[in-house]
Amino acid sequence: MSNGDIFVGEIIGTAILILFGAGVVAAVVLNYSKAKDAGWIVITFGWGFGVLAGAYTAAPLSGGHLNPAVTIGIAVDTGDWDKVPVYIAGQMVGAFLGAVLCWLVYFAQFQANAEDEIAQPTLGIFSTTPAIRNPVANLVTEIIATMALVLPILAFGLTKGLGESGTSILIVSFLVVGIGLSLGGPTGYAINPARDLGPRIAHALLPIPNKGTSDWSYAWIPVVGPLIGAVLAGIVFNAAF
């Protein structure tokens, strides 16, 4: 795969991931949405389907990492770091663009937020926020949840034919749903630095009425936690397998 293919593939795939993921949260939480109050299970499946659509789309070009944690976990396993910056650059650009697309889809609902008597904070549509703000606990949650993502992804590569058939992408999509259902409650399960940081930047820049804070004091946790989790997953995989 060329650097150009990787960059373009990761932009497109990650944009689709964020469009679906941020979109399902917007659908559930924004007033005047037909999916208002549909609940956490809907959100977790929406993110899982986002992984499914984004990874299948990007796979022919880049392999469909869509996540710096996955890219780094693979690099720790293989020792090949040459293309890591290209992957991460594409993921960051794609995450930002996906957030902008979500804003455009729900533009009327975001505008209606300015007219409501009680405006809704909007950061949770784009990025993660903890249920209980405890930096140490939040960081540990993101580390463990990311290990629960990256370690199985590395192990899937040991099953002959799984990647070639495309079945591994389907399995990873259900893995993301499972992580959301089981481990997503404390922090909203970023498990992906680009997924959180790119949309957080978009939230800060977009002209969303009454959007509330972008909470930059918390923003390091969903970046650092998944990166640590990815490195640990790669180390454990090398040691155990």
Tens of pLDDT along 42-81? Answer: 999 999 999 999 999 999 999 999 999 999 999 999 999 9
For 114, other C-beta atoms within 10 Å of its C-beta total 11
Query: Which backbone phi and psi does 33 adopt, to 5 degrees?
Result: -95, 140
With a cut of 90, say whether residue 229 has pLDDT above it. yes
Q: Which CATH class is domain 3-240?
A: mainly alpha
Tens of pLDDT along 107-116? Answer: 999 998 777 7
Considering the chain, what is the average pLDDT of its residues? Answer: 94
Q: Which tokens hold the place of 133?
A: 């703000």
Q: How far apart are CA 60 and CA 178, in angstroms?
A: 26
Q: Please report the pLDDT score of residue 115 as a whole number.
A: 77
Q: Please say whether the beta carbons of 203 and 127 come within 8 A.
A: yes
What pTM, to 2 d.p., does this model score? 0.95
Query: Which backbone phi and psi does 13 adopt, to 5 degrees?
Result: -65, -45
Q: What angle do CA 220, 137, 119 make, to 5 degrees?
A: 65
Q: Please report the pLDDT score of residue 117 as a whole number.
A: 65
How much of the chain exceeds pLDDT 90, in percent? 87
Q: Which of 199, 185, 166 lies closest to 91, judged by CA?
A: 199
